[in-house]
Protein backbone atom coordinates (compact mmCIF):
# COMPACT_ATOMS: atom_id res chain seq x y z
CA UNK A 1 0.00 0.00 0.00
CA UNK A 2 1.29 3.47 -0.90
CA UNK A 3 0.01 7.04 -0.69
CA UNK A 4 0.75 9.35 -3.60
CA UNK A 5 0.22 13.11 -3.32
CA UNK A 6 -0.41 14.74 -6.69
CA UNK A 7 -0.18 18.40 -7.71
CA UNK A 8 -2.76 20.64 -9.39
CA UNK A 9 -4.57 18.82 -12.22
CA UNK A 10 -6.67 21.68 -13.66
CA UNK A 11 -8.45 19.47 -16.14
CA UNK A 12 -5.30 17.79 -17.47
CA UNK A 13 -6.90 14.37 -17.73
CA UNK A 14 -4.41 12.85 -20.16
CA UNK A 15 -1.41 13.75 -17.99
CA UNK A 16 -3.22 12.36 -14.94
CA UNK A 17 -3.77 9.05 -16.73
CA UNK A 18 -0.10 8.92 -17.70
CA UNK A 19 1.01 9.69 -14.13
CA UNK A 20 -1.21 7.04 -12.52
CA UNK A 21 0.19 4.52 -15.01
CA UNK A 22 3.75 5.60 -14.19
CA UNK A 23 3.27 5.11 -10.45
CA UNK A 24 1.39 1.87 -10.95
CA UNK A 25 -1.60 3.12 -8.97
CA UNK A 26 -3.67 0.24 -7.59
CA UNK A 27 -7.15 1.40 -6.63
CA UNK A 28 -7.61 -1.51 -4.20
CA UNK A 29 -4.37 -0.89 -2.29
CA UNK A 30 -3.09 2.65 -2.85
CA UNK A 31 -4.38 6.12 -2.02
CA UNK A 32 -4.21 9.38 -3.92
CA UNK A 33 -3.96 12.70 -2.11
CA UNK A 34 -5.04 15.49 -4.48
CA UNK A 35 -4.12 19.08 -3.64
CA UNK A 36 -7.17 20.61 -5.33
CA UNK A 37 -7.83 22.56 -8.51
CA UNK A 38 -9.09 19.40 -10.15
CA UNK A 39 -10.94 21.38 -12.77
CA UNK A 40 -10.61 24.31 -15.16
CA UNK A 41 -8.29 25.60 -17.88
CA UNK A 42 -7.41 22.13 -19.17
CA UNK A 43 -9.66 20.26 -21.59
CA UNK A 44 -10.50 17.20 -19.48
CA UNK A 45 -12.22 18.50 -16.36
CA UNK A 46 -15.37 16.44 -16.87
CA UNK A 47 -13.72 13.01 -17.21
CA UNK A 48 -11.38 13.88 -14.33
CA UNK A 49 -14.27 14.68 -12.01
CA UNK A 50 -16.08 11.51 -12.99
CA UNK A 51 -13.01 9.33 -12.49
CA UNK A 52 -12.00 10.80 -9.14
CA UNK A 53 -15.55 10.59 -7.82
CA UNK A 54 -15.59 6.88 -8.64
CA UNK A 55 -12.36 6.32 -6.69
CA UNK A 56 -14.31 6.70 -3.45
CA UNK A 57 -12.14 6.23 -0.37
CA UNK A 58 -9.06 5.62 -2.53
CA UNK A 59 -8.78 9.38 -3.10
CA UNK A 60 -8.56 12.28 -0.65
CA UNK A 61 -9.34 15.62 -2.27
CA UNK A 62 -9.08 19.10 -0.82
CA UNK A 63 -10.85 21.91 -2.65
CA UNK A 64 -8.92 24.53 -4.58
CA UNK A 65 -9.94 27.98 -5.76
CA UNK A 66 -10.85 26.69 -9.24
CA UNK A 67 -13.08 23.99 -7.76
CA UNK A 68 -14.91 26.59 -5.69
CA UNK A 69 -15.13 28.85 -8.74
CA UNK A 70 -16.95 26.05 -10.57
CA UNK A 71 -19.52 25.88 -7.77
CA UNK A 72 -20.06 29.64 -7.93
CA UNK A 73 -20.49 29.62 -11.71
CA UNK A 74 -22.90 26.70 -11.51
CA UNK A 75 -25.08 28.63 -9.05
CA UNK A 76 -25.02 31.77 -11.20
CA UNK A 77 -23.01 33.75 -8.64
CA UNK A 78 -20.01 34.26 -10.95
CA UNK A 79 -19.28 34.36 -14.65
CA UNK A 80 -16.78 32.19 -16.45
CA UNK A 81 -13.50 34.02 -16.98
CA UNK A 82 -11.30 34.15 -20.03
CA UNK A 83 -9.64 30.75 -20.34
CA UNK A 84 -12.19 28.86 -18.24
CA UNK A 85 -13.17 25.43 -19.52
CA UNK A 86 -16.14 24.62 -17.31
CA UNK A 87 -18.92 24.49 -19.87
CA UNK A 88 -18.68 20.75 -20.47
CA UNK A 89 -19.35 20.12 -16.78
CA UNK A 90 -22.18 22.64 -16.66
CA UNK A 91 -23.89 20.93 -19.60
CA UNK A 92 -23.23 17.35 -18.48
CA UNK A 93 -26.25 15.09 -17.80
CA UNK A 94 -24.69 14.15 -14.44
CA UNK A 95 -23.93 17.77 -13.54
CA UNK A 96 -26.04 17.72 -10.37
CA UNK A 97 -24.35 14.58 -9.05
CA UNK A 98 -20.86 15.89 -9.80
CA UNK A 99 -21.43 19.29 -8.20
CA UNK A 100 -23.07 17.77 -5.14
CA UNK A 101 -20.10 15.44 -4.71
CA UNK A 102 -17.69 18.34 -5.09
CA UNK A 103 -19.43 20.27 -2.31
CA UNK A 104 -18.88 17.35 0.05
CA UNK A 105 -15.11 17.45 -0.27
CA UNK A 106 -12.68 18.69 2.35
CA UNK A 107 -10.87 22.00 2.60
CA UNK A 108 -8.08 20.51 4.73
CA UNK A 109 -6.96 17.03 5.72
CA UNK A 110 -4.40 15.78 8.25
CA UNK A 111 -3.15 12.27 8.86
CA UNK A 112 -0.17 11.24 10.97
CA UNK A 113 2.69 13.67 10.24
CA UNK A 114 1.17 15.06 7.02
CA UNK A 115 -1.40 17.77 6.28
CA UNK A 116 -3.03 18.44 2.91
CA UNK A 117 -4.30 21.85 1.77
CA UNK A 118 -4.58 23.56 -1.60
CA UNK A 119 -2.73 26.83 -0.94
CA UNK A 120 -1.51 27.39 2.59
CA UNK A 121 -2.06 28.01 6.29
CA UNK A 122 -1.77 31.25 8.22
CA UNK A 123 1.28 31.44 10.52
CA UNK A 124 -0.73 31.33 13.75
CA UNK A 125 -2.72 28.21 12.86
CA UNK A 126 -1.53 24.91 14.28
CA UNK A 127 -2.68 21.74 12.59
CA UNK A 128 -5.53 20.91 14.97
CA UNK A 129 -6.85 24.46 14.72
CA UNK A 130 -6.66 24.40 10.93
CA UNK A 131 -8.70 21.19 10.91
CA UNK A 132 -11.34 22.76 13.13
CA UNK A 133 -11.53 25.93 11.03
CA UNK A 134 -11.80 23.96 7.79
CA UNK A 135 -14.64 21.97 9.31
CA UNK A 136 -16.55 25.20 9.94
CA UNK A 137 -16.49 25.91 6.21
CA UNK A 138 -17.14 22.30 5.22
CA UNK A 139 -20.23 22.10 7.42
CA UNK A 140 -21.80 25.13 5.74
CA UNK A 141 -20.73 24.11 2.23
CA UNK A 142 -22.32 20.68 2.70
CA UNK A 143 -25.48 22.04 4.30
CA UNK A 144 -28.75 23.52 3.09
CA UNK A 145 -27.46 27.12 3.29
CA UNK A 146 -24.44 26.61 1.04
CA UNK A 147 -25.86 29.09 -1.49
CA UNK A 148 -25.41 31.92 1.00
CA UNK A 149 -21.78 30.98 1.60
CA UNK A 150 -21.05 30.87 -2.13
CA UNK A 151 -22.76 34.21 -2.65
CA UNK A 152 -20.55 35.86 0.01
CA UNK A 153 -17.34 33.95 -0.60
CA UNK A 154 -15.46 36.24 -3.02
CA UNK A 155 -13.44 39.12 -1.58
CA UNK A 156 -9.99 39.92 -0.18
CA UNK A 157 -11.13 41.28 3.16
CA UNK A 158 -10.55 40.66 5.97
CA UNK A 159 -6.96 39.87 5.02
CA UNK A 160 -5.81 38.46 8.36
CA UNK A 161 -7.06 36.14 11.05
CA UNK A 162 -8.65 37.04 14.36
CA UNK A 163 -10.31 34.63 16.76
CA UNK A 164 -13.03 37.28 17.11
CA UNK A 165 -14.12 37.06 13.47
CA UNK A 166 -17.68 35.89 12.97
CA UNK A 167 -20.07 34.93 10.21
CA UNK A 168 -19.05 35.11 6.57
CA UNK A 169 -16.02 37.28 7.28
CA UNK A 170 -14.65 34.41 9.36
CA UNK A 171 -15.42 31.80 6.73
CA UNK A 172 -13.97 33.97 3.95
CA UNK A 173 -10.61 34.30 5.71
CA UNK A 174 -10.44 30.53 6.20
CA UNK A 175 -11.30 29.88 2.55
CA UNK A 176 -8.88 32.51 1.26
CA UNK A 177 -5.98 31.19 3.31
CA UNK A 178 -6.54 27.57 2.40
CA UNK A 179 -7.28 28.10 -1.31
CA UNK A 180 -5.54 31.35 -2.36
CA UNK A 181 -2.60 32.09 -0.05
CA UNK A 182 0.94 32.38 -1.39
CA UNK A 183 2.56 35.19 0.56
CA UNK A 184 1.85 37.07 3.78
CA UNK A 185 3.54 39.32 6.30
CA UNK A 186 5.29 37.65 9.23
CA UNK A 187 2.20 38.28 11.35
CA UNK A 188 -0.15 36.79 8.76
CA UNK A 189 -1.56 39.59 6.60
CA UNK A 190 -2.38 38.00 3.27
CA UNK A 191 -1.66 39.44 -0.18
CA UNK A 192 -3.41 37.78 -3.11
CA UNK A 193 -2.21 39.51 -6.28
CA UNK A 194 1.36 38.22 -6.26
CA UNK A 195 1.92 35.03 -8.29
CA UNK A 196 5.61 35.21 -9.15
CA UNK A 197 8.74 33.53 -7.86
CA UNK A 198 9.96 33.84 -4.27
CA UNK A 199 12.98 35.99 -5.21
CA UNK A 200 10.73 38.86 -6.37
CA UNK A 201 8.24 38.90 -3.51
CA UNK A 202 7.31 42.47 -2.47
CA UNK A 203 9.08 43.96 0.52
CA UNK A 204 7.48 43.08 3.84
CA UNK A 205 6.07 39.76 2.61
CA UNK A 206 7.40 36.22 2.54
CA UNK A 207 6.13 32.79 1.52
CA UNK A 208 3.53 31.68 4.06
CA UNK A 209 5.60 28.60 4.94
CA UNK A 210 8.64 30.71 5.83
CA UNK A 211 6.85 32.80 8.44
CA UNK A 212 8.88 32.75 11.67
CA UNK A 213 7.54 30.40 14.35
CA UNK A 214 4.87 29.06 12.01
CA UNK A 215 2.54 27.04 14.22
CA UNK A 216 1.94 24.31 11.60
CA UNK A 217 5.63 23.46 11.17
CA UNK A 218 5.27 20.34 13.31
CA UNK A 219 3.67 18.61 10.30
CA UNK A 220 4.70 18.32 6.68
CA UNK A 221 2.19 20.43 4.76
CA UNK A 222 1.43 19.15 1.24
CA UNK A 223 0.09 21.88 -1.06
CA UNK A 224 -0.10 23.20 -4.62
CA UNK A 225 -1.53 26.43 -6.07
CA UNK A 226 1.78 28.27 -6.59
CA UNK A 227 3.10 27.10 -9.97
CA UNK A 228 5.94 29.65 -10.04
CA UNK A 229 7.30 28.13 -6.84
CA UNK A 230 7.83 24.78 -8.53
CA UNK A 231 8.59 21.51 -6.80
CA UNK A 232 9.74 21.91 -3.21
CA UNK A 233 10.61 18.89 -1.10
CA UNK A 234 11.60 20.02 2.38
CA UNK A 235 11.30 18.61 5.88
CA UNK A 236 7.97 20.29 6.59
CA UNK A 237 6.56 21.26 3.18
CA UNK A 238 5.89 19.47 -0.09
CA UNK A 239 4.93 21.95 -2.85
CA UNK A 240 3.59 20.03 -5.83
CA UNK A 241 2.23 22.52 -8.40
CA UNK A 242 4.78 22.14 -11.17
CA UNK A 243 2.80 23.93 -13.86
CA UNK A 244 1.30 21.05 -15.82
CA UNK A 245 -1.23 23.40 -17.35
CA UNK A 246 1.55 25.71 -18.57
CA UNK A 247 3.67 23.03 -20.23
CA UNK A 248 5.54 21.93 -17.11
CA UNK A 249 5.12 18.59 -15.41
CA UNK A 250 2.46 16.81 -13.41
CA UNK A 251 4.06 15.66 -10.18
CA UNK A 252 3.36 12.91 -7.68
CA UNK A 253 5.32 12.12 -4.54
CA UNK A 254 5.08 8.87 -2.63
CA UNK A 255 4.77 9.88 0.98
CA UNK A 256 6.30 6.73 2.42
CA UNK A 257 9.74 7.39 0.90
CA UNK A 258 9.30 10.79 -0.80
CA UNK A 259 10.16 9.43 -4.21
CA UNK A 260 9.09 11.90 -6.92
CA UNK A 261 7.34 10.88 -10.14
CA UNK A 262 6.70 13.29 -13.03
CA UNK A 263 5.23 13.27 -16.52
CA UNK A 264 5.65 16.10 -19.07
CA UNK A 265 2.58 18.13 -20.01
CA UNK A 266 1.56 19.89 -23.20
CA UNK A 267 1.08 23.64 -22.79
CA UNK A 268 -2.57 24.70 -22.89
CA UNK A 269 -3.66 27.67 -25.02
CA UNK A 270 -4.89 29.82 -22.13
CA UNK A 271 -3.92 33.29 -20.97
CA UNK A 272 -1.09 33.22 -18.43
CA UNK A 273 -2.63 36.23 -16.71
CA UNK A 274 -5.57 34.06 -15.67
CA UNK A 275 -3.57 31.73 -13.41
What pLDDT does 169 receive? 98
- Cα gap 68→61, rounded to integer Å: 13
* Partners of residue 110 on adjacent β-strands: 115
Domain of 99, in residue numbers: 3-274
Lowest mean pLDDT among 17-31, 166-180, 236-250, 257-271: 257-271
What pLDDT does 82 receive? 93
Confirm if 68 and 95 have CB atoms less than 8 A apart: no
What pLDDT does 273 receive? 35
* Per-residue pLDDT band at 269 (split at 50, 70, 90): very low
Q: 209-248, pLDDT tens digit by residue?
A: 999 999 999 999 999 999 999 999 999 999 999 999 999 9
Domain of 143: which CATH number? 3.60.21.10
β pairing state of 114-117 and 183-184: unpaired
Read off the pTM. Answer: 0.96
Q: Which of 67, 50, 64 is nearest to 16 (CA)?
A: 50
Task: Reply yes or no on whether the pLDDT at 191 is more than 60.
Answer: yes
Q: 65-83, pLDDT tens digit by residue?
A: 999 999 999 999 999 999 9
What pLDDT does 267 receive? 76
Task: Reply yes or no on whether the pLDDT at 182 is more than 80.
Answer: yes
**76 contacts: CB under 8 Å, gap ≥ 6:** none
How many domains does the structure of the chain reveal?
1
Amino acid sequence: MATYAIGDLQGCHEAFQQLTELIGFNVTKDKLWLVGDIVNRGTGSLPLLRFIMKLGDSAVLVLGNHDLHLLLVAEGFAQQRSGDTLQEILEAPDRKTLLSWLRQQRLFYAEDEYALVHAGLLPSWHIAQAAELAQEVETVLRGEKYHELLLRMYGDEPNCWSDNLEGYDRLRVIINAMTRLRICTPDGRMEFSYKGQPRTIPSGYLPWFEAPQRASSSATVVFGHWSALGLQVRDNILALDTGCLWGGQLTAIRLEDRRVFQVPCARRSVAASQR
